[in-house]
Amino acid sequence: MRFRIDLAGGRSSLPWDDVFTPARAVVYGIIGGHDSDLAAELHDRGYAGSSLRPLGISSPQFRGTRKARGAYTTSPDGSLWLGSPVPRIAAAMLAGLAGRKAIQWATLNLPIRGIQIEAAPDHQAGETVFSTRTPILVKWESRYLLPDHPRFLERLSHNVRHKADLLGLPADNEMEVVSAGPPRKFLVKGAPRHGCTAELRIRADPALLDALYDWGLGLATNQGFGWIR
C-alpha cells in the first residue's frame, strides 16, 4: 500500500543537501508515532531478520516551481509519497499520519493538505514500465552505477530478487532500460549518492510488480531514492 500526502510549501527553496537527508527520520517518525518497536527494528536492524527495510518514501515534489541556482525550489502545491508492501508497516504509516498537521522536512515545515491511498496499477500481464520520480541507486564494488553501465541491470535485478525473497514472492525477473534522466549527485549527511531517474520495462510475477510499486527500485528507498511514479 502507498500514500500520497499533499503539502503546502512553507518557503521558496530548500538547500540541496536537505532534499534527501531528512527522509529516514521522517518515515521512521511517522511509523514510530503508532508503533515505536517497529520503527526501532527498521532503523536499527532491518525487517524480519533481513537487513532490508521494505518501505519507500519520496523527497517532497513541488509543482509550478522555477529553477534557482544552488537551491531546490518549492511552491504551495507539493506532494510526498510513502509506502510499503508489508501490511504491518503500511498500516503503521497510515495510523502514524492520522491527525498529523504537518511534516517537518529539515528546516521546512510542510502543512498537510490531504492524504490519499494510491492503488497499484493492474500488473496481471506480468510486465510493466516503471518510471521513477527520484534517482535509482545501484552499486557494484562500492561504486554507484548509472543505467548505461554494463552491470546496472544485473545489479538492479539482483536487488529485486533479494526483495522478492524477503517477501516470499517469485523472484525471477527480466528488465531493460527504456530511458534515463541526467546523472545527479546528492549529499546525504555529507556522503555522496550518484544516480538518475529512469524508465524500466520489468517482467516479473504480478505480485512482485505490485510490491515494487509500493516499495521502490534500487537501494536506499527509505532515504527517498528509487520512488516509482
pLDDT tens column, 132-183: 999 999 999 999 999 999 999 999 999 999 999 999 999 999 999 999 999 9
Say which CATH topology domain 2-118 has: Alpha-Beta Plaits (3.30.70)
pLDDT tens column, 54-99: 999 999 999 888 777 778 888 889 999 999 999 999 999 999 999 8
Same fold, 2-118 and 127-223: yes
pTM of the shown model: 0.95
Residue spans of the domains in the chain: they are 2-118, 127-223
Say which DSSP state 172 is in.
-
One DSSP character per residue, 94-133 reads HHHHTT--EEEETTEEEEEEEEEEEPPP--TTSEEEEEBS
* pLDDT at 10 > cutoff 70: no
**CATH number attached to the domain at 127-223:** 3.30.70.1900
Q: How far apart are CA 89 and CA 92, in angstroms?
A: 5
Instruction: Output the CA–CA distances (angstroms, integers) from residue 225 to 48, 56, 64, 93, in the order listed.
Output: 22, 8, 22, 18
